[in-house]
Chain A
Amino acid sequence: MTKVFEKSPAFFDTFTRKPSMQKTTHYCPGCGHGTLNKIIADQIAELGLQDQTIFVGPVGCGVFIYYYFESASVSAAHGRASAVATGVSRANPDSVTISYQGDGDLAAIGTSNAIHAANRGENMIVFFVNNNIYGMTGGQLAPTTLIDQTSTTSPTGRTVLNDGHPLKMAEMVAGLEAPVLSARVAVNTPRNVRQAVKVIKRGLEIQRDKKGYAFIEVLSQCPTNWKKESKEACDWIDEVVCKQYPIGVIKDVADQREAQIRLAERVEFEALADQLGLTTDDEDTSQKIEMLQDELRFKFAGFGGQGILSLGMMMAQMSMEQNMEVTWLPSYGPEMRGGVANCSVVVGKKAIGSPAIESPNVLVALNRPSLEKFGPLVPEEGLIIYNSSLIDQVPDNLKGQVYALPATDLASDAGTVKAANAVVLGFVARKTGMFQLSDLENFLRETFKKPAMLETNLKAVLAGWNAAEKD
């Protein structure tokens, strides 16, 4: 029988989840992450666990594991992988949950998450990739950095007086009551890799049999940040790192433990929606706006200072006063003035799922970049209203019904260019048939307290309203 060592079926051949569709990982040459990924994938495939494996990815160099393993995966915020894996494991008691974390992630930011998950004895296996350094951010001191090891934030070497002792996570976890397996392995030589394979297989078997929490610390080389050649880095693990972090199985009590399954109560969506008061399928008779669609998705976009956000706010507030369901979501750059701004407004008959908009039914573009950016997203039946005072060229890839409204000119006639948003409000109100002129007037009277401002805005709204009639 020929034994073939090759890329595991649990690992994507081409990383189809990655837009660049590449075949190579992003790891640096000589990095231990790739070696560990490979042997985890091998063992998952060998034990036939691929269909039930859920990975929880960290922040750090291991962040892209969801691109590489052909399994389910979740990404967690920095340090939170063990906590997220707890939820994943409890919600999917039949699955094999794998938390894959680095030393900056697990031993620094996420220490409490990791220790408490271990202490609860959750059904999960944690791979703790220890390369003594913060790799992704450029080699800063980590809690696991060795005594006398230099890093960008300890240029003269780590000292006990200043930074404390290197954190021995595998020993800490082994000291707890609940974990069934705690081990430290290395991936720097074929001999160590063979040992790691055995321990990883043992850990995955424990998960398959639901015996509880397994913790495997993996000493991994980081040639890039250690500033060593791959070979030197691997030798350094044997010569220096293993002296301070001895490899071996520290605790394995799986054979004395029973399988444990926590029954998670499944809450059906209906019950949850009921509790939150979201189950109103009946028509709300108090809603005063007749709408053809169940949901109108507005996108207002332009330069900062054109009154884009207030325009969206006015639209949302007026709809809200008519008892419609409404969301308003602004988006703008960090500039104090200038820059581009847009806001998404959803007006609906029923509870709104998401305030974010992919394809607007109504687009108001007050400058050219906005029209070019959002115009092509509007479907055929949608409305596109653009500011013809500032936009002289209309892209030819628009599908919606396009209306040219000289908003800035009309506002200027009404008294000030700042009222361009009021012009648009009048135009949109009439075009969509959502509001009467009296609704607009009442709203403006409540909004603007200064008589001069009110006067200008009333004129501007009326100009927009009339422009809608002419079309």
Chain B
Amino acid sequence: MPKYSMSEDNVEEKQEKEQPSVIIHEELCKACGLCIIHCPKDILEASDKINELGYPTTVVAKDGCIGCANCYLICPEPGAVTVKKP
């Protein structure tokens, strides 16, 4: 993580630069689909990619993550979802 001073101006500048993001670790996904229905921005989708576990994995289909972490919280497989919220 880059170091920056905690003065308010700088923090705001930082927030403008970095957007919230979500990563689905496809090799851990069991395709229960709960993250898809709980995403308020509908950016997650079921794909037809089959992973090593034999499940059609979920993918991040669009930009627009707001970092609400709904997908992280509801995902039943620890480690399958990472959300970064600046």
Do A and B interact? yes
On A, residues with C-beta under 8 Å from B are 2-8, 11, 13, 23-25, 27-35, 37-39, 41, 68, 189-190, 193-194, 197, 223, 229-231, 234
Question: Which 7 A-B pairs rank lowest in CB-CB distance, beginning with the nearest?
Answer: A7-B79, A34-B76, A30-B32, A29-B30, A29-B32, A230-B32, A5-B72
Q: How far is the CB of B15 from chain A (nearest CB, A)?
A: 10
- Does A4 contact B79, Cβ atoms closer than 8 Å? no
Q: A25: which of B31, B74, B77 is its contact (CB, 8 Å)?
A: B77
Q: B74: which of A6, A7, A13, A35 is its contact (CB, 8 Å)?
A: A35
Asked if B86 CB lies within 8 Å of chain A CBs, one says yes
Given the complex, which residues of A lie within 8 Å of B81, measured CB to CB?
5
- Does A189 contact B74, Cβ atoms closer than 8 Å? yes
Given contacts A30-B32, A35-B75, A193-B74, contact A6 B85 (CB under 8 A): no
- Does A223 contact B32, Cβ atoms closer than 8 Å? yes
- Does A30 contact B34, Cβ atoms closer than 8 Å? yes
- Does A5 contact B69, Cβ atoms closer than 8 Å? yes
CA gap between A11 and B75 in the complex, in Å? 15
Given contacts A34-B77, A189-B38, A189-B74, contact A24 B84 (CB under 8 A): no
Q: Return the chain B residue nearest A68 by Cβ.
A: B78
Given the complex, which residues of B lie within 8 Å of A234, measured CB to CB?
34
- Does A41 contact B69, Cβ atoms closer than 8 Å? no
CA gap between A269 and B37 in the complex, in Å? 58
Given the complex, which residues of B lie within 8 Å of A32, measured CB to CB?
76
Given the complex, which residues of A lie within 8 Å of B37, measured CB to CB?
231
Given the complex, which residues of A lie within 8 Å of B28, measured CB to CB?
23-24
Q: Return the chain A residue nearest B51 by Cβ.
A: A24
Given the complex, which residues of B lie within 8 Å of A39, measured CB to CB?
73
Q: List 14 A-B contacts (CB under 8 A).
A: A6-B72, A6-B79, A11-B79, A23-B79, A30-B76, A34-B75, A34-B78, A38-B78, A68-B78, A190-B68, A190-B73, A194-B73, A197-B73, A231-B33
Asked if B83 CB lies within 8 Å of chain A CBs, one says yes
Q: B30: which of A3, A8, A24 is its contact (CB, 8 Å)?
A: A24
CA gap between A223 and B85 in the complex, in Å? 31
Which residues of B44-80 are within 8 A (CB) of A? Answer: 53, 55, 67-70, 72-79
Q: Return the chain B residue nearest A40 by Cβ.
A: B78
Q: B38: which of A13, A23, A37, A190 is its contact (CB, 8 Å)?
A: A190
Q: Return the chain B residue nearest A234 by Cβ.
A: B34
- Does B78 contact A2, Cβ atoms closer than 8 Å? no
- Does A230 contact B34, Cβ atoms closer than 8 Å? yes
Given the complex, which residues of B lie within 8 Å of A29, measured CB to CB?
30-32, 55, 76
- Does B86 contact A6, Cβ atoms closer than 8 Å? no
CA gap between A234 and B69 in the complex, in Å? 18
Q: How far is the CB of A3 from chain B (nearest CB, A)?
A: 5
Given the complex, which residues of B lie within 8 Å of A4, measured CB to CB?
82-85
- Does B86 contact A13, Cβ atoms closer than 8 Å? no
Given contacts A29-B31, A193-B73, contact A5 B78 (CB under 8 A): no
CA gap between A6 and B79 in the complex, in Å? 6
- Does A230 contact B33, Cβ atoms closer than 8 Å? yes
Asked if B8 CB lies within 8 Å of chain A CBs, one says no
CA gap between A125 and B25 in the complex, in Å? 32
Q: Return the chain B residue nearest A38 by Cβ.
A: B78
Given the complex, which residues of A lie within 8 Å of B78, measured CB to CB?
7-8, 11, 25, 34, 37-38, 41, 68
Given the complex, which residues of B lie within 8 Å of A24, measured CB to CB?
28, 30, 53, 77
Which residues of B1-43 are within 8 A (CB) of A? Answer: 1, 18, 27-28, 30-34, 37-38
Given the complex, which residues of B lie within 8 Å of A41, measured CB to CB?
78
Given the complex, which residues of B lie within 8 Å of A6, measured CB to CB?
72, 79, 82-83
CA gap between A77 and B78 in the complex, in Å? 26
Q: Return the chain B residue nearest A3 by Cβ.
A: B85
- Does A5 contact B74, Cβ atoms closer than 8 Å? no
Q: How far is the CB of B6 from chain A (nearest CB, A)?
A: 9
- Does A2 contact B86, Cβ atoms closer than 8 Å? yes
Given the complex, which residues of A lie within 8 Å of B67, measured CB to CB?
3
- Does B74 contact A190, Cβ atoms closer than 8 Å? yes
Q: How far is the CB of A135 from chain B (nearest CB, A)?
A: 14
Q: A2-B86, A30-B34, A230-B32 are known contacts; what are 18 more A-B pairs with Cβ within 8 Å?
A: A5-B82, A7-B78, A11-B78, A23-B79, A24-B30, A24-B53, A25-B78, A28-B30, A30-B76, A34-B76, A35-B76, A38-B76, A189-B38, A190-B38, A193-B74, A223-B32, A229-B33, A230-B34
Given contacts A34-B76, A234-B34, contact A190 B70 (CB under 8 A): yes
Given the complex, which residues of A lie within 8 Å of B31, measured CB to CB?
29
Q: Return the chain A residue nearest B79 by Cβ.
A: A7
Given contacts A4-B82, A230-B33, contact A27 B76 (CB under 8 A): yes
